[in-house]
Amino acid sequence: MGTSDVIAAASGLLSLIAIVVSVLVARSQSQLSRREQLLPVVSEILREAVTPEFRANRNFIVERLATDHPQPADGMRGLPPEASARVRHVMSYLNNVGLLVANESVSAQLVSSVMGGSVINVWTAVAPYVYAERVLRGEDPNYYGYLEDLAVTVHEIGPDELATKLKLRKWPPGTGTP
């Protein structure tokens, strides 16, 4: 093997290394850019979930929906207009969050961290109405399907697994220091 062959091989190897490094840098830049683009979406998710109107509507669903309107066989259309508006506000919001999670635009872990219990509580309360409405719509499986999928996803993550994944540390009770 002559000197020119060694130089050619070295040049080829350096070119290959440069390509690999360029791909890795481009991938890293793409991930950073995606995170920056999602920041406003995540901020809006956090902001809406704590508004007084959203919280009042969520509490209505969880605490009073079934007792105030115990006819889930009529689906969503069986609810009076005021109750329907309150329920649809929360359900539509969570359905849209579920859409973002299902398409991996927003992390399921992040949503579970922020509103995991609320998602499960809302789904538990509205599920009979949604199932009835699906039947009334001709077995439409997609009616609030993203909300249902979000509830399943959040349930599967669970608070213990979430704490483990996030490596959350505990402050010993009754002590002034960790």
Of 26 and 101, more confident: 101
- Residue 57 near residue 49, CB atoms below 8 Å: no
Q: Give residue 106's pLDDT band: very low, low, confident or very high (50, 70, 90).
A: confident
Of 166 and 97, more confident: 97
Lowest mean pLDDT among 16-30, 96-110, 112-126: 16-30
Number of DSSP helices (H) and strands (E) in the chain, helices first: 7, 0
Lowest mean pLDDT among 69-73, 76-80, 88-92, 141-145: 69-73
What pTM did the predictor assign?
A: 0.75
Which of 19-28, 40-49, 81-90, 133-142 is the most confident on average? 81-90
Q: Token pair for residue 29?
A: 């830049």
Q: Token pair for residue 158?
A: 């669970």
Q: Give residue 173's pLDDT band: very low, low, confident or very high (50, 70, 90).
A: confident
Q: Is the pLDDT of residue 130 over 70?
A: yes
Q: What is the DSSP string of 7-64?
A: HHHHHHHHHHHHHHHHHHHHHHHHHHHHHHHHHHHHHHHHHHHTSHHHHHHHHHHHHT
In 3D space, the residue among 59, 64, 39 whose CA is nearest the CA of residue 49 turns out to be: 59
In 3D space, the residue among 74, 77, 79, 64 whose CA is nearest the CA of residue 125 turns out to be: 64
CB atoms within 10 A of CB 65: 20
Q: Give residue 42's pLDDT band: very low, low, confident or very high (50, 70, 90).
A: confident
In 3D space, the residue among 149, 146, 116, 128 whose CA is nearest the CA of residue 49 turns out to be: 116
Q: Give residue 31's pLDDT band: very low, low, confident or very high (50, 70, 90).
A: low
The confidence score (pLDDT) of residue 44 equals 78
Give the Å distances, CA to CA, from 56 to 61, 62, 103.
Answer: 9, 10, 29
Of 39 and 127, more confident: 127
What spatial distance separates the first Cα and last Cα of the chain, rounded to whole Å? 65
Residue 5, amino acid: D
CA 143 to chain centre: 18
